[in-house]
């Protein structure tokens, strides 16, 4: 006899089927797949709509109205749809994961809402049993069939008297289990049916002791015909206010029939957060998937909230989001083009409308323009940037400055703005989000324009040199100033520049700032890190304190005979120049300012006291 190992291909294997704990599946659905028990009503509506759609394909004249009947703790939903035979019941209702639309999956994605065959199980989140009575429209000889299912995983099937159910269709009965009665209240059922099904193509009515309410609205507002463009715009804005809960600043139509998408995007009336991708209200063939679905519009479109209906995109298993695939990527690109087209149109034809939009969302447009040279070319005359000529469009700025110098930070711009403007040097503040990237594209859009990074040496070179004789008169001042500021890695020079109200200008390049940051970090670090950072030290240009010879304050420095008081005056000029850069001060800089202020205050106090003695 030959012994065979378990891995021997010739060994005999016994095959077994997985055992499914339905209560465990229900718990998984209610706590992990679906966001809330409320979705049970959406799944019931989805099945009813799919059944009506299937019958309508066979008989376009068949009835389509769906009716929900609500009692104190019961709910019945009836549809005149395709119905089921007993074979269908065993195949579809009693087999988890099988969908009646799987036979033609591509057709199902376009014609039906359901694809996963697990929707009916969502009802077990609110009930202990489900009763289904159905009669098939495709097999008139088949009797009506009743299916009773329990949350413990058991079910029964029996045939019914055809005389009691003469018309094709399906009815589902639910009874609320303990703790779930709130989901069966007539008002709650009506609200849920309206939220999920307001855009469904078939009439849906909720009936209770209080009467009947139709929750469907018919043709979506963006597909209706209006007498004028103004009426259409007003209707769209009112729909957005009612549906999204805020008053939109503007509206953008997103109709893209070729992509199987329609709807509108509403422009936020408050600035959006560029770092937060926007969430949108998305419908699948009229059934609400969710009111916070992400990814359907480009990330840069954070300034809009969309209400979108699609018949081509694929939902996730929970039908509360969209599956990220190539089709969604194409739709996202198409809808992004619609938003760009809208901006292009109002920029060319409705400047007041554009101005209102940019007053709130200029940042969003700049973010978008980084990825579209055509859009940037169109929007360039309307986007304002902070420059040495004020807040102006770059098209206007470049008429006066063919060489555009751009800073890396806001602090760097503030450091030189006043002096650069007085000297006729064109500088753009590149420290704000997206501005530096957009300025870098100017040479491609505006021939003859050159863009360079701001260099402290370029500012210094533009300042007027001082007459050698006058500079010689300031030699003692310069010598003392260099001694005072040398520990702070700052050189001192004298130049003549405007405005005269600026007695001193603090200039440092990026290399000098990086070295200063390294030195400060090394000073505060432990011995090991201080040694590592010390090894990174490099010889770089030092910062400069440029004294303005046009300033009366600087010219009077040579009259100070007291070296201690002259030192205090130099420290004060250095501190004032630092404050003009609007950058955070180091501990050493703060101590210097406090010392200079204290000494000036002491000097002034003593001078006042001396004058008082002379008066006596």
Annotated binding residues, written as ranges, equal 43, 47, 79, 170
Task: Look at the block and give the residue holding tokens 């210094």.
Answer: 460
- CA atoms of 510 and 520, how far apart (whole Å): 15
Spatial CA neighbour of 432 closest among 398, 402, 406, 400: 406
- What is the per-residue burial (b if ≥16 Cβ within 10 Å, else e) of 5-40? eeeeeeeeeeeeeeeeebeebbeebbeebbeebbbb
SS in 3 state form for 241-302?
HHHHCCCCCEEEECCEHHHCEEEEEEECCCCCCCCCCCEEEEEECCEEEEEEEECCCCCCCC
SS in 3 state form for 102-125?
HHHHHHHHHHCCCCCCCHHHHHHH
Binding-site residues for ATP: 43, 47, 79, 170
Q: What is the CA radius of gyration of the chain?
A: 38
Longest dimension (CA), the chain: 132
What CA–CA distances, in Å, run from 389 to 76, 120, 160, 423, 497? 71, 67, 86, 12, 18
- CA atoms of 96 and 87, how far apart (whole Å): 15
Task: Look at the block and give the residue holding tokens 């010390």.
Answer: 534
- CA atoms of 30 and 576, how far apart (whole Å): 65
- Cα angle value 38/42/46 (rounded, 5°): 165
Q: At 137, which helix (H) or strand (E)?
A: none
For CA atoms 580, 586, 588, 593, give the dihedral sign.
positive
Q: At 373, which helix (H) or strand (E)?
A: helix 373-379
SS in 3 state form for 12-63?
CCCCCCCCCCHHHHHHHHHHHHCCCCCHHHHHHHHHHHHHHHHHHHHCCCCC
Tokens describing residue 512: 């000098």
- Could you say which DSSP state residue 315 is in? B
């Amino acid at each position: 006899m030959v012994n065979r190992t378990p891995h021997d291909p010739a060994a005999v294997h016994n095959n077994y089927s997985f055992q499914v704990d339905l209560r465990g599946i229900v718990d998984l659905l209610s706590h992990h797949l679906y966001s809330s028990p409320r979705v049970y009503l959406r799944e019931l509506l989805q099945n009813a709509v799919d059944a009506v759609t299937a019958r309508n394909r066979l008989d376009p004249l068949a009835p389509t109205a769906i009716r929900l009947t609500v009692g104190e703790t019961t709910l019945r939903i009836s549809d005149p749809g395709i119905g089921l035979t007993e074979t269908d019941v065993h195949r579809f209702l009693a087999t988890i994961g099988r969908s009646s639309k799987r036979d033609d999956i591509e057709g199902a994605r376009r014609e039906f809402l359901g694809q996963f065959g697990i929707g009916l199980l969502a009802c077990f989140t609110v009930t202990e049993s489900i009763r289904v009575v159905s009669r098939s429209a495709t097999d008139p000889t088949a009797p009506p069939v009743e299916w009773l299912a329990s949350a413990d995983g058991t079910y029964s099937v029996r045939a019914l008297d055809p005389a009691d159910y003469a018309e094709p269709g399906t009815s589902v009965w639910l009874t609320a289990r303990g703790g779930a009665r709130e989901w069966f209240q007539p008002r709650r059922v009506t609200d849920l049916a309206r939220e999920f099904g307001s855009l469904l193509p078939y009439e849906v009515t909720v009936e209770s002791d209080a009467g009947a309410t139709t929750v469907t609205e018919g043709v979506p507002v963006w597909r209706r015909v209006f007498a004028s463009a103004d009426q259409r715009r007003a209707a769209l804005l009112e729909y957005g206010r009612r549906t999204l809960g805020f008053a939109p600043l503007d509206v953008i139509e997103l109709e893209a029939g070729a992509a199987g998408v329609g709807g509108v995007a509403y422009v936020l009336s408050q600035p959006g957060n560029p770092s937060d991708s926007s969430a949108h209200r998305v419908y699948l063939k009229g059934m609400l998937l969710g009111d916070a679905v992400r990814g359907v519009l480009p990330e840069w479109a954070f300034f809009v909230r969309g209400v979108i209906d699609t018949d081509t995109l694929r939902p996730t298993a929970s039908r509360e989001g969209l599956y990220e695939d190539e089709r969604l990527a194409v739709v996202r690109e198409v809808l992004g083009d619609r938003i760009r087209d809208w901006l292009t149109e109002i920029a060319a034809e409705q400047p007041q409308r554009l101005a209102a939009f940019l007053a709130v969302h200029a940042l969003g447009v700049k973010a978008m323009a980084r990825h579209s040279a055509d859009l940037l070319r169109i929007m360039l005359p309307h986007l304002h940037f902070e420059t040495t000529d004020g807040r102006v469009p770059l098209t206007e700025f470049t008429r006066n400055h063919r060489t555009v110098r751009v800073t890396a930070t806001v602090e760097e711009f503030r450091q030189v703005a006043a002096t650069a403007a007085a000297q006729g040097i064109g500088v753009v503040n590149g420290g704000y989000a997206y501005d530096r990237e957009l300025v870098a594209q100017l040479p491609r859009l505006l021939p003859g324009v050159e863009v360079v990074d701001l260099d402290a040496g370029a500012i210094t070179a533009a300042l007027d040199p001082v007459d050698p004789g006058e500079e010689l008169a300031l030699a003692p001042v310069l010598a003392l100033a260099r001694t005072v500021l040398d520990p702070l890695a700052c050189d001192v020079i004298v130049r003549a520049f405007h405005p005269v109200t600026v007695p001193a200008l603090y200039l440092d390049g990026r290399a000098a700032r990086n070295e200063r940051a390294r030195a400060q970090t090394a000073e505060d670090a432990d011995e090991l890190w201080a040694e590592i950072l010390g090894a990174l030290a490099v010889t770089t240009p030092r910062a400069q304190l440029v004294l303005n010879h046009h300033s009366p304050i600087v010219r009077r420095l040579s009259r100070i005979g007291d070296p201690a008081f002259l030192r205090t005056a130099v420290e004060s000029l250095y501190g004032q120049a630092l404050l003009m850069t609007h950058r955070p001060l180091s501990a050493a800089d703060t101590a210097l300012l406090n010392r200079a202020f204290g000494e000036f205050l002491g000097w002034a106090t003593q001078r006042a006291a001396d004058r008082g003695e002379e008066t006596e």
